[in-house]
Every structure is written in C-alpha cells, then in structure tokens.
Amino acid sequence: MPQIIDGKAISAQIKEEVKARVAVYRERGAEITLAVVQVGNDPASSVYVGNKKKACAYVGIRSLSYELPEETTEEELLALIADLNSREDVHGILVQLPLPQQIDEHKVICAIDPSKDVDGFHPQNVGALCTGEEGFVSCTPAGIIQLLKRSGIVIEGRECVVIGRSNIVGKPMALLLLRENGTVTICHSKTKNLKETAKRADILVAAVGKPRMITADYVKEGAVVIDVGIHRNKDNKLCGDVDYESVAPLSAAITPVPGGVGPMTIAMLMYNCVEAFRFREQDR
C-alpha cells in the first residue's frame, strides 16, 4: 500500500505555525494585512476568494476585500493596485485570476509591488527563485515542497519529472525541485515520449490540467506521485490529473484529490503573508 500524503493534516500544521507567528506580531501591536481583489463574480473565483478570507480570519491576518464589477477597466484596476502599493498598512496584495478579457493579466501582475506580491507571480520574485535569492514563491509548488519534506520524502539526487510548464505551477515547481537538488525534467504538450520520460521519475508531479490522464503506464513502480490537478467529473466528484485507482497500487507515495495538494495552496499563501510582514520589518 502506498503512503497517502495527507495535505489536509500538513496544511493544518502549517496554518497553526503561521497562527503562532501572527500571534507574536499581534502582541506587539502589529496587524498583518492582506488586500484581496476580485474583478467580476466568476463562481469558482468567489469560492477561492472566500476560502482565502476564511483562512486569514483563522490565522489572525486582517483581510481587506475589494470586489470590483466585471466591466472594471485596466486603468481602474491599476489605480487600485497603485493605491494598495503605497499603503503602509497593507502588507500583501492578491489579485484573483483569471481577470476579465479587457484586462491584461501580465500588466496587472507586474504592477504589484514585488514586496507585497504574496502570490509570487511578479517577474522579480520569479527571478529571485531562479537565482536562489529571498522572495515569494508561487503557493501551490511551494506547498508541494512542504508536502514532500514533511512526509519524509528525499528530493536530493532523485529523478524528478514535472508534467506542465505553466508560470503558476510547472515552471516554479521545476525550479524548486532543482533548488532541493533534484535532477529535474520538464514535460509539456510538445514533449515526445511522454510516457517513457515520466516513467523515469522517482518523483512525478502532474500539473497537466487533464482529468485522470496520468495512468499506470506513465509511472515507475515505487515512484512518489504528486497530483496537482483539480477537476469535477460528470457526477460532480473531484478528481485529479492522475488516474488514482491505477497509479496508487504501484506508487510508494501519492497525493489524493481532494485532500492532497489543494489545501496546501492557501496555507502557503498565509505563510507568504507573514513573510511579507517580516521582510518589511527587516527593511526598516
């Protein structure tokens, strides 16, 4: 039987650690604040934003909510970000993606002060990750590193294959595994021999965005399998990018969906908010 990597328990542990750090700052009179910006009312985004605000309340971080109408212009959003950048009492800024089509997402990400970019999407933070400097790391891949480490899985020296090269998951995931001294291969939609390459992995990360695509044919016996995907099947049940039923029996360890990678993203967002406050204090 594989080790089931328990994202619920590990994310709860991280939230408790964050809560304890926040409490120390609060005793000194500091109020860590996250501004959460949502444009339009996409139902999935509303659920994510609601969960982020709930997590803030749980760990003791103040959240400021900006709910802008669907027809908000790019200029209006950029003006709000400029205001939040300049506010001393705002430590983190989160703009929920995707944005309506009249707004250029890249421009918006670049407008956020990198020292408040708790999502870790700003090119300056991505660059810092590349060069090994301090900065914010995208929450989902940062959470996956925590899942691995806290489950006692060694990364150093092992073959790591990441399927997917998005800016939010695949690329930062590969860089983080490299930082942990893994030997990293990135696969994507144009990769030839995907199955053979994936089968080399000691640690396989599936961030491909295709329900249950990664079957037993892609997985070496004894591999650690991390499933980033979240999908709803036709019965409205959650599933991942990995075909859990066929892959679990041959893996050494695996993340379930739900209860694997999913809960880690918000826990790491909370962690990044406290880090934003710490960086600011360091700079004073």
Report, as residue numbers or ranges, the catalytic residues: 52, 96, 119
How many residues can be counted in the chain? 284
Binding of ligand NAD by 166 (CB under 6 A): yes
Number of neighbours of residue 94 by Cβ within 10 angstroms: 26
Shortest spacing between CB 186 and ligand NAD, in angstroms: 9
Binding of ligand NAD by 163 (CB under 6 A): yes
Task: Candidates 52, 158, 165, 212: give the one binding ligand NAD (CB under 6 A).
Answer: 165
The two three-digit tokens of residue 98, written as one number: 């995707």
Window 243 to 282, contacts with ligand NAD (CB under 6 A): 261-262, 265
Binding of ligand NAD by 179 (CB under 6 A): no
Between 63 and 140, CB nearer to ligand NAD: 140
Contacts of 128 (CB under 8 A, 6+ apart): 134, 135
For 80-92, b/e burial (b = at least 16 CB within 10 A) is: bbeebbeeeebbb
CB of 261 closer than 8 Å to CB of 232: no
Binding of ligand NAD by 7 (CB under 6 A): no
Handedness of CA 80, 81, 82, 83 (dihedral sign): positive
| H or E segment and range at residue 110 | helix 105-111
Between 109 and 168, CB nearer to ligand NAD: 168
Nearest-angstrom CA–CA distance, 4 and 282: 39
Q: Mark the segment that binds ligand NAD (CB under 6 A) among 75-83, 87-95, 222-230, 271-279.
A: 222-230
Contacts of 180 (CB under 8 A, 6+ apart): 145, 155, 156
Task: Candidates 19, 53, 188, 280: give the one binding ligand NAD (CB under 6 A).
Answer: 188
Binding of ligand NAD by 169 (CB under 6 A): yes
Task: Candidates 32, 80, 161, 207: give the one binding ligand NAD (CB under 6 A).
Answer: 207
Between 90 and 163, CB nearer to ligand NAD: 163
Between 169 and 204, CB nearer to ligand NAD: 169
Q: Which of 143, 47, 44, 35 is nearest to 94 (CA)?
A: 35
Binding of ligand NAD by 164 (CB under 6 A): yes
- Which residues of the chain form contacts with ligand NAD (CB under 6 A)? 140, 163-166, 168-170, 187-189, 191, 194, 207-210, 228-230, 241, 261-262, 265
